[in-house]
Amino acid sequence: MERTNDHRQPPLGKIARLYYEHGLTHQEIADLCGLSRIKVTRLLAEARRVGIVEITVHSDDHLFVGLESALGRAYPLRQAWVGPTFEDEARAAHSLGAVAAECVSALLEDRATVAVGLSASVATIPRHLRPGAARDVNFVPLTGSGGGISRAASSHELALAFAAGAGGHAYHLPAPLLARTPQAAQVWREDPAVQETLERAVSADVLVAGIGGRTGLLVENLSASDLAATRGRGAVGDISGRFFDANGAAVPCEVDDRLIGLSLAQLRAVPVRIGVARGAAKLQALRVALSQGLINVLVTDSSTAEGLLAAAGADAPAGAPASAEASS
């Protein structure tokens, strides 16, 4: 092969095409482009990271069947979906979103209504969705939208992202996440447009939501006094802003009165309730949400799954790695 004398880095697309379309080995590309083999490996990884290369694996095989089965025995779950654990936050979020997208796609049916909760974990899902899982699916927000800078999209933008990824339709909830006072919240709830969207959410077939624990979008945006008040009433976690205690019961407080969204009882009434969460900070809230039936489908990572099994007094299956990075 002809060795190039151009020492500039070749375009990522060229490297990717040589490898994926023309079948050259790393060493052959290195020789052709005047690079080291390690450099070629890094460029191919970069091509995947920036989206030049997208890989689709045509398989329904689950990654951690033993952990998923053990969770189904330990908790009243319809299904559990478990992905690998990563110490790197970006890789962990990407992996959780990919597994959650598989779960959502598998559970979608034609003309279903999916209620979407505002959550950083849930916000990782849409980029992994692909049209075709079901037809005429409607995505509706579970709550109003928060103001200011957020790690997740607004509720409206999140519903739009799900609709774009899955090829469905999105509805808007024209209200804030938290009203200034309980009285202001009641005014918002009486708005006809808000009522229409909330009614669609109440009648949803599927719910997709994060689980807040010691961390979470709502928890991190509450004032110190509001947070102290909710925890003083026994709150251990929340689903889409609705706090629950160690028995899975709703925690009445001013924050609850100010939130624009479905009540905990309404959330529990949705037939398929997918909870997406991972990490030690979510373990207590997840354990309660699972054991009390607040969610009946779980998407998490392997180390969180092992923690949940330990909390339930169940043994994890042998050979399940706690961290993909530690075992690589």
128-138 exposure pattern, b = at least 16 Cβ within 10 A, e = fewer: bbeeebbeebb
> Residue 314: its pLDDT value, please?
75
Say if residue 115's pLDDT is above 50: yes
Find out whether 309 and 315 touch, Cβ atoms under 8 Å: yes
Say if residue 297's pLDDT is above 80: yes
> Residue 216: its pLDDT value, please?
61
Which of 204 and 133 is assigned the larger pLDDT? Answer: 204
> Residue 230: its pLDDT value, please?
82
Say if residue 104's pLDDT is above 60: yes
Mean pLDDT of 236-264: 91
Which of 327 and 50 is assigned the larger pLDDT? Answer: 50
Model pLDDT for residues 44-76, shown as the tens digit of each residue = 999 988 888 877 766 566 778 899 999 999 999
Query: Residue 141 forms beta bridges with which residues?
Result: 116
Which of 99 and 224 is assigned the larger pLDDT? Answer: 99
pLDDT band (50, 70, 90) for residue 4: very low
Which of 60 and 3 is assigned the larger pLDDT? Answer: 60
- Which residues does 267 contact at the CB level (< 8 Å), separation at least 6? 142, 207, 209, 239, 240, 242, 273, 294
| 168 phi and psi angles, rounded to 5 deg | -120, -155
How far apart CA 242 and CA 103 sit, in angstroms, is: 23
> Residue 223: its pLDDT value, please?
72
> Residue 2: its pLDDT value, please?
40
> Residue 319: its pLDDT value, please?
54
Least confident range of 152-156, 168-172, 197-201, 269-273: 152-156
Model pLDDT for residues 10-51, shown as the tens digit of each residue = 789 999 988 988 888 999 999 999 999 999 999 999 998 888
Q: What is the end-to-end Cα distance of the chain in Å, rounded?
A: 34
Mean pLDDT of 262-267: 96
Query: Residue 169 forms beta bridges with which residues?
Result: 138
Q: Which amino acid is at 184?
A: A
Model pLDDT for residues 72-97, shown as the tens digit of each residue = 999 999 999 999 999 999 999 999 99
Say if residue 327's pLDDT is above 50: no
Model pLDDT for residues 167-224, shown as the tens digit of each residue = 999 999 999 988 999 999 999 999 999 999 999 999 999 999 999 876 666 666 677 7
Cα-Cα-Cα-Cα dihedral of 277, 141, 123, 68, to 10°?
30
> Residue 326: its pLDDT value, please?
43
> Residue 280: its pLDDT value, please?
93
> Residue 133: its pLDDT value, please?
80
